[in-house]
Structure formats: structure tokens, C-alpha cells
Amino acid sequence: MSDYKHSVSLDVEKCKGCTHCLKRCPTEAIRIRDGHAKINADRCIDCGVCIRICPYKAKKAIFDKPEVLQPYKWKIALPPPSLYGQFENLDDVDYVLQGLLDCGFDEVFEVARAAELVTAYTRRYLKRDDIQRPVISSACPVIVRLIAQRFPLLCSHLMPLLPPMEIAAIMAKEQAQKAHPELKEEEIGICFISPCPAKISDVKNGIGGEKSHVNVVVSMADMYFSLISVMSKDQTPPPVSKAGMIGIGWASAGGEATAIFNDRYLAADGIENVIRVLDDIENGTMPNLDFIELNACNGGCVGGAMTVANPYIAKTHLQNLRRYLPVSQNHIPNNKDERYIPESFFMKETVTYHPAVQLNQNRKEAMKMMADIQQIHACLPDLDCGSCGSPTCHAFAEDVVKGETEVDQCVVKMREKIKERA
């Protein structure tokens, strides 16, 4: 797992070594060492909480600059529905799509279209008898990584269909090659406009065991500012949008789940809430449900760390946009077998468990370490102040036993020592 390419990174110059990110990281992946934050790559799930929380803007997502797209002969933009929610007083998605063309893209393919197909196939998937229920959505890459790290029994519950972004990329490439047979595959550049760092990591590391069809990922915030300078209200854009209510609904929490047309669902958003739900499912204390939609960000994708608008206002914008749209504008072909899903929609590999918290491969050794941790923890003040550079006193005890820090780093213990000497 250590060769995993993360998109969340640190600007050491800007980091003051404060404890904001340390205390908020949901997987305890951050430590403050030598005066600045360090991210443990094995534990980081690219949720972006630290990017949002850092008062000094020292945490950032590594994404591609739009120039990276220049060498490609045919540039295709993949706008996700969360992009539409960023704009005030927008009454038609076509303004955004035209704006993207005016920014220099040759073609636009809406991710919402693929989302509607994924929704339709999810309905079929839920009709199967040989699946583990509840089925957990795999659209949010943070959730997939979290489950792979911490919830071994839930890996088989993850929906094995590719996320809408990937389906959109595949479809866009096929469509472009059909319309322009003279284009070579490597001349087509597919650019996803991402609301979050996790989607970037997804593209860089491959999705479902395969290289992503997305070539470039730009930040939604960057794209937003390019768009508002070219979007014009004076010219009515050609009507090209093919997204319905369902596709656009995917941008905010609950949109994916409600589109399944099945009451036995649950939708949770915000990483802490998500972890509680996953604990409950694993413990078997959930009521019988068919589908679980989980979003790491508050409010869903509109709450991503690289969005511009307040996620709740973005949701309101989306409600306005959805109002007079057909329920869905993208339909799957009829099939005699009402459980049929084409192979191309499936991930090549399913998600497997990669524990990130195990103390030692050898259980005997791990038990010895945990005994030492308990012993050290018993002497600590339990203030969880973070001054030692570890998020909690327990994590500190763990770090001491792992040899990553020393007991003397505890300021409370240090103060006691000084008092004794005085």
C-alpha cells in the first residue's frame, strides 16, 4: 500500500506545526514531527478534511494544471454534476457546458449521464440473489479506501460497478473515436473536473484494478474561475445537456440512494457519521437494508474540498436546476434478463482488505506491543492535547512503542518532572 499515490500533500514552508489537522484526521494518519505535519501514506484516505481545516493553507491537493491538457489533439471535459451547483442564478446547465467549450475544450461529456446509467444498473444489481446486503455504494473513493483499511467484512458489500466518472470517461472516448475516426487513442485527452482530492488519487492509482481512462484531473475551484470569466448570460447556449434529475441528484448526499426507487436505503454523509454507520453494519446492528450510500464529505460531492460554493447553497442551486428536467435522460437497453449488467460496467478487481492499523505481522509480537502501549498509556494524562505531536494520548503511547517518538515528548509529564525538581 505504501506505493499508493496520494493527492493530499503538505507545503512544509507554510505548516506551523499546529494541531488542527492532527486532531481532525479521521484515520489518525497525521503526526507533528520536527515542527511540521507528516502524513502517514498507509493510513491517509485522501478525504481532504485536513485541507479544509488548515488555517495556514499548508495542506493542498496535487492536481493537474490545465496546461497538461495542451498536447492532446482532442480535449474532452468531464464535468460532474457538483460543478453545476457552484453557480448562482444559473437556470440551465447548458451555460456551463458552453462555458467549457469556450475555455478551449473540443467536447463535453456530462458525468451525470453516466450516473444515470450506473443508477439503472444498480437497480438491476439489487435484484440479484447472490449479493451481500446491504450493498454499499463505491462511488466515493474515500469510502472504498476506508473500508479496505478498516472493515474487512464489508469489502464484499461494496458495489462492484465502476463509478460514474470512469464510465463517463469510457463512453466519451468511444464517442469521440466514432465521430472522429482519424484520432488516435492517445490523441484524445479526457479531463475530469474534480470536487475533491480523492478522485485525483483514484485516477492516479487506477480504478477497480485497472488504469483509469481519465487522463487529466483539474481542480473544480480552478475551473470555476476560468468559467465565470467566459460564461455569458447574453447568448443562449445550444441545448446540449443530457442530464436528468437523477444524474444531477448524484451531486448531493442522498441523490444516488433515492434514485434506486427502493425504500430500504440509508444515506450518510460526513466522514465521522460514515464510520459510525460502517461500525453498525459490521456489528450487525443495522436494520435490514438493501442499499447504503456513503459520502465522505458533508453534503456529498458538493461538499468536496475543492468546491467553491457552500455545499448547502450548492444543493439549493441544484434543486433549481433539476426542477423542470425529465427524471432521467439516459436509459439502459432493455434486456430479457432483468438482472443483466454488461461486463464493461464492472470493476476488473473487487476491493480486498489491506489492514493499515496492525501493530505487527506476528500476533505474539503485536500482543507484547499492545501490553506495552497499555502500560505507557496508563501513565499519560489523557488530555489528548496533541502537543506531543500525536493526536491522542493513546496514539502517543502507540507511537512510543513503535519507536517513533519518546515519552519525554509529553509536555504534561515534562511539567511534572520540572515541578518535582523545583
Give 17 or 152: the residue with its C-beta nearer to other proteins: 152
Q: How far is the CB of 261 from other proteins (least distance, A)?
A: 25
Question: What is the DSSP annotation of 153-208?
Answer: GGGGGB--BPPHHHHHHHHHHHHHHHH-TTS-GGGEEEEEEESSHHHHHHHHH-BT
Give 55 or 287: the residue with its C-beta nearer to other proteins: 287
Amino acid at 283: N
Give 180 or 394: the residue with its C-beta nearer to other proteins: 394
Q: How far is the CB of 292 from other proteins (least distance, A)?
A: 18
Q: How far is the CB of 369 from other proteins (least distance, A)?
A: 9
Give 344 or 360: the residue with its C-beta nearer to other proteins: 360
Instruction: List the one residue out of 252, 208, 212 whose CA is nearest residue 115.
Output: 252
Question: What is the DSSP annotation of 78-137?
Answer: E--HHHHTT-TT---THHHHHHHHHTT-SEE--HHHHHHHHHHHHHHHTT-SSS-SSEE-
Q: How far is the CB of 280 from other proteins (least distance, A)?
A: 9
Q: How far is the CB of 296 from other proteins (least distance, A)?
A: 20
Give 310 or 374: the residue with its C-beta nearer to other proteins: 374
Q: Which residues bind other proteins (CB under 8 A)?
A: 150, 152-153, 279, 282-285, 287, 353, 355, 357-361, 363-364, 366-368, 370-371, 374
Give 57 or 402: the residue with its C-beta nearer to other proteins: 402
Q: How far is the CB of 397 from other proteins (least distance, A)?
A: 12
Give 59 or 157: the residue with its C-beta nearer to other proteins: 157
Is 199:192 a contact under the CB 8 Å cutoff?
A: yes
Is 137:159 a contact under the CB 8 Å cutoff?
A: yes
Q: How far is the CB of 368 from other proteins (least distance, A)?
A: 6
Own/partner contacts of 56-59, CB < 8 Å, gap of 24 or more, are 56/14, 56/15, 56/16, 56/18, 57/11, 57/14, 58/10, 58/11, 58/12, 58/13, 58/14, 58/15, 58/16, 59/8, 59/9, 59/10, 59/11, 59/21
